[in-house]
Amino acid sequence: MESQFEQSLRTLAPEQRFSAAQIAEIAADILLRRAGSGEAASPDAFRQELLATGWDIIRKRPACAPLVNLVSNMLWKIEQAETPRELRSAVAASTNDFKRQLRQHAIHVAESLVNLIEDGSTIVTLSYSTTVQYALSHAQRAGRHFNVICAESRPIYEGRQTADILAGLGIPVTLVVDMAAAAAIPTAQLVLVGADMLTYRGLVNKIGTRMMASIARTYSVPFYTLCGSAKFLPATFQLPEQTEWDPTEVWDHSYPNLNVLNPPNDTTSLELLTGIATERGILPPAAVEGWLAALRVHPALTMPQSDLVEQLHY
């Protein structure tokens, strides 16, 4: 029978239509519950159990940077704690701080974008990003009038959620198939997308983002990603291998000579971005590259996976 912990992890599975920020909040709650369950034999055993749990979480969504930063922050926080009470308190403090940070970033990002949205403009977006939704809602409250074209984002149609939420807010929105959204970019005034992760290699986001960025560059349409630093990762972190999503989401037919691919995301070069909306304001890619270079994650997350397995079974 599936344990309660395994059931919790299933909520992070790709078929669950959550944004990166929502996934991180769910993961924070999983870590907190894990810290409060049972009694570890020693402080070191507690830290090893939480590290193993952290890796279980990260592997569920390898391209979701907030999960890495969440776990890293927790590992730094519990390093100096020794008693069971101190250890649990440290986990609670780190997870609550991280959730608060995510919400604050969304507010600052939204505030930085208001002046980019002009009355009567058409904005193109895709997939499901709570940060994009919040920014558009904030612009509406600030008195901006605009309409949104949203790609449905096949194969699991996350864009439908975005369209539903925006329409419910009274924002004029048109839901279209993915290629129609790309075709709308040349006559749009702005393209806004969320982010799963940003590194020096580029922006990792829902499949189709790179194509939209390329079209926007060709037609000189401003293209921004809404990406607080909780979604930044330094080069020192080696991502777990990411597999393709379930091919039956695309097509459930099976033939010996038929291969169905279902990549969940793509990587867009930073040079294709007009700017990156962060909690420090809208920055050019070059400025963010310096920010990325200064980041670090906990050393336990940078060791080779073979060493980690040996350590966890010591």
| Cβ–Cβ < 8 Å for 181, 173 | no
pLDDT in tens, 8-58: 777 777 666 788 899 999 999 999 999 988 777 799 999 999 999 999 999
| Whole-angstrom distance, CA of residue 30 vs CA of residue 119 | 42
- The per-residue pLDDT of the chain, averaged, comes to 90
SS3 206: strand
Burial 106-119 (b: 16+ CB within 10 A, else e): beebbbbbeebbee
Q: Calculate mean pLDDT across residues 251-265.
A: 85
Q: Calculate mean pLDDT across residues 271-284.
A: 96
Report pLDDT for 15: 65
Report pLDDT for 272: 97
Report pLDDT for 303: 66
The percentage of residues in the chain with a pLDDT greater than 70, rounded to a whole number, is 93
Spot the catalytic one: 44, 56, 119, 196. Answer: 196
Respond yes or no: is residue 196 known to be catalytic.
yes
How many C-beta atoms lie closer than 10 Å to residue 54's C-beta?
24
| Whole-angstrom distance, CA of residue 87 vs CA of residue 115 | 44
pLDDT at 113 over 70: yes
Report pLDDT for 308: 44
Tell me the helix, strand and coil percentages in the chain, rounded to 5: 50, 15, 35
- pTM for the model stands at 0.90
Per the listing, tokens 């449905």 go with 152
Report pLDDT for 289: 86
| Whole-number CA gyration radius for the chain | 20
Report pLDDT for 1: 44
| Whole-angstrom distance, CA of residue 27 vs CA of residue 154 | 25
Report pLDDT for 311: 43
| Cβ–Cβ < 8 Å for 206, 120 | no
The percentage of residues in the chain with a pLDDT greater than 90, rounded to a whole number, is 73
Contacts of 160 (CB under 8 A, 6+ apart): 152, 175
Burial 15-30 (b: 16+ CB within 10 A, else e): eeebbbbbbbbbbbeb
How many C-beta atoms lie closer than 10 Å to residue 168's C-beta?
9
Tokens of residue 227, six digits: 């990406």
| Cβ–Cβ < 8 Å for 93, 77 | yes
